[in-house]
Structure 1
Amino acid sequence: MESTSTSSISPASLLRRQIATKDEIVVCPGVYDGLSARIALHAGFKSLYMTGSGTAVSRLGMPDIGLTTLNDMRDNAALISSLDPSVPLIADADTGYGGALMVGRTVAQYMRAGVAALHLEDQVVNKRCGHLRNKELVSEDEYMSRIKAAVNMRTKLDGDIVIIARTDALQVFGFDVALNRLKMAISLGADVAFLEGIRTLEEAERVCKELHPTPVLYNMVQGGVSPRLTVSEAQKIGFKIIIFPAIASRAAFLSITKSVQYLKETGDFPDETAHVGPASLYSVCGLDEAMEFDKAAGGKSYEGGI
């Protein structure tokens, strides 16, 4: 059951308030489906991040090498954002999935899906995960066309979505070129800067300093190329948003692998999962709320409980 929470404040406005809150950093666990999102919401997170990598591996069963389409990403974002509209969702939008017209369509569909923010990057359409090697980038002009198309569509629809400019130019062209791309994107109307593949603490500190007061996002990928930063460490450096895109998918990969291997070897399930009955799982996914809604409408299906 989707959340019954209502608010006159748009998801983008909620996120803008979080970003603007002094002495705080927006912390977003990466989620990739309804269950991972429900678990993060149950834990009390006030914002979420929909990972493109997690979407690729969960919805397609394929690696993050540019195989997901706009429809794959939009549908997943719409599902996640609908669970609790009071918790803003930042969603990966890859390259925008084409030229300026497709970027505009992507922005419009993400806005209609209730997404608070999206990030657009400067890789070629057949992109790959930002923490893999040998990435190919489009020209500066083509990247700026993507950002301008996103900003123009937001204006045309008279709505709001936070536009995050991501560049992967650091690995390909170096820090100065990457920084210049971000500065140009900001001048066109991007709200947040995202330097992908940061390699050192010095680069992390410099990008925050050079782009201040524009908010900068840090991508904390487990096992990736960037330095491992805690929330407090990232905040101290100057980042206003930190995402942990692989926090759920890596945990699921490890736990499911362990459980199915145990089943294969022993013919039984691991003891640590024995206490997790259906009610425990469904409770995190909104069971109590659904029962209360049914009761308020005069339903009697759950009078005896579950």
Structure 2
Amino acid sequence: MAPTTDETKTFAPFRPAAAILRQQLADPDSLLVCPGVFDGFTARIALDAGFDTLYMTGAGTAASVLGQPDLAIVSLPEMAGNAGMIAALDRNVPVIADADTGFGSSLAVARAVKLYSQLNVAAMHIEDQAFIKRCGHLRNKALVSLDEYLVRIRAADRARKECGRDIVIIARTDSLQSLGLDGAIRRLKAAHSAGADVAFLEGLLTKEQCQEAVQALAPIPCLLNIVGGGVTPALDAAEAKAMGFKILLWPILSLTYTYVSVKKAMRELKEKGWSEPLPGGEGGIKDIFEVCGIEEAAAFDREVGGSTLDGGFF
């Protein structure tokens, strides 16, 4: 079979993921429902389900890459590398990624923004916790001053302008516990004035607080974070959209189901010496390879004249 050449097959021009995300956010009727993914496999499953925006969780990255809790242990190269790998799986599906506190000083924040941008990550959120941070749904979080927080946001805004990439900057505040709703809203408004595009008030406690926050921050686009077992009520997409949120994250969805399913299977294998097949044989090697793109890989190989996957593979 003769290989397909560029003269006989056209390709869509590259479009930065940030531009796609900005278009999604500009749609007045849209709510971006983003499942949390933590590696290439969970990202592939989310893409196969048809999601048009993904979220790379920092907690999931810490757990999957290092086997550690979400306590500022993951370095910038590890976090950005994971985000970039996920973003590369489908360039038309924007990835929003955790960037913790920005990984240090204003110079570290700038480096993070440029690295995430180069990897075609669509958006990153930067928070106002002290450098040794905690998951947003844990207690006793330490904050930096408002001035230090705004240095991070201004550094992010300046860095994206310098690198010519319009990555979306999401300002996250974890100040609700210590400063109250009014204080948290003041921080987010100041961050927006400093260059942030989206407001992320972490750890909202009630539906009433959710509604009040969106109204107080309008017209700034707002993000709602639903963490299983966390403090924020589990609003569904219809409720979040009705309140006026633009982005809805379920950050540990993949982590939760991985934990529950794998734990059950491991216990079964340990106790019984075998693992019971799932109904219908779901989850076999064929399913796994297919969701990871083996058909697309075979098509690519054929089109360039290769024979790596000739003869089939199942």
TM-score with structure 2 length normalisation?
0.94
Alignment check: 8 A CA contact 1:49 1:90 kept: yes
Match of 2:309 in 1: 302
Change in 2 beyond 3 A, CA 1:36/1:7 = farther
CA deviation after TM superposition for structure 1 residue 280, in Å = 1.4
3-state SS in 2 of match to 1:42: helix
3-state SS in 2 of match to 1:49: strand
* Paired-residue identity, %: 50
3-state SS in 2 of match to 1:83: coil
TM-score with structure 1 length normalisation?
0.97
CA deviation after TM superposition for structure 1 residue 6, in Å = 5.1
User: Structure 2: which 5+ residue stretches go unaligned?
Assistant: 1-9
3-state SS in 2 of match to 1:243: strand
Alpha-carbon displacement from aligned partner over 1:52-72 (angstroms, at most 9, x marks no partner): 000011101011111111111
Match of 2:100 in 1: 94
Asked if 1:53 corresponds to 2:56, the answer is no
Question: Following the alignment from structure 2 to structure 1, what is the Cα–Cα distance between the partners of residues 190 and 293?
Answer: 44
Q: How many residue pairs were aligned?
A: 303
Match of 1:185 in 2: 191
Match of 1:115 in 2: 121
Alpha-carbon displacement from aligned partner over 1:164-187 (angstroms, at most 9, x marks no partner): 000001011111111000000111
Question: Following the alignment from structure 1 to structure 2, what is the Cα–Cα distance between the partners of residues 61 and 148?
Answer: 33
Question: Following the alignment from structure 2 to structure 1, what is the Cα–Cα distance between the partners of residues 160 and 34?
Answer: 23
Change in 2 beyond 3 A, CA 1:114/1:257 = same
The 5 Å alignment of 1:1-306 reads 7-272=13-278, 274-306=281-313
Question: Following the alignment from structure 2 to structure 1, what is the Cα–Cα distance between the partners of residues 259 and 166?
Answer: 35
Alpha-carbon displacement from aligned partner over 1:153-203 (angstroms, at most 9, x marks no partner): 011112210000000010111111110000001111110000000011121
List structure 1 runs of 4+ shifted beyond 6 angstroms.
none
3-state SS in 2 of match to 1:91: strand
CA deviation after TM superposition for structure 1 residue 233, in Å = 0.7
Alpha-carbon displacement from aligned partner over 1:70-112 (angstroms, at most 9, x marks no partner): 1110110011001001000000000001010100011010001
Alpha-carbon displacement from aligned partner over 1:214-264 (angstroms, at most 9, x marks no partner): 100000111100011001111111100001001101000000000000000
Instruction: Give the counterpart letter for 2:238 in structure 1.
Output: S
3-state SS in 2 of match to 1:202: helix
Question: Following the alignment from structure 2 to structure 1, what is the Cα–Cα distance between the partners of residues 16 and 169?
Answer: 15
Alpha-carbon displacement from aligned partner over 1:26-57 (angstroms, at most 9, x marks no partner): 11000000000000000000000000000011
Match of 2:3 in 1: none
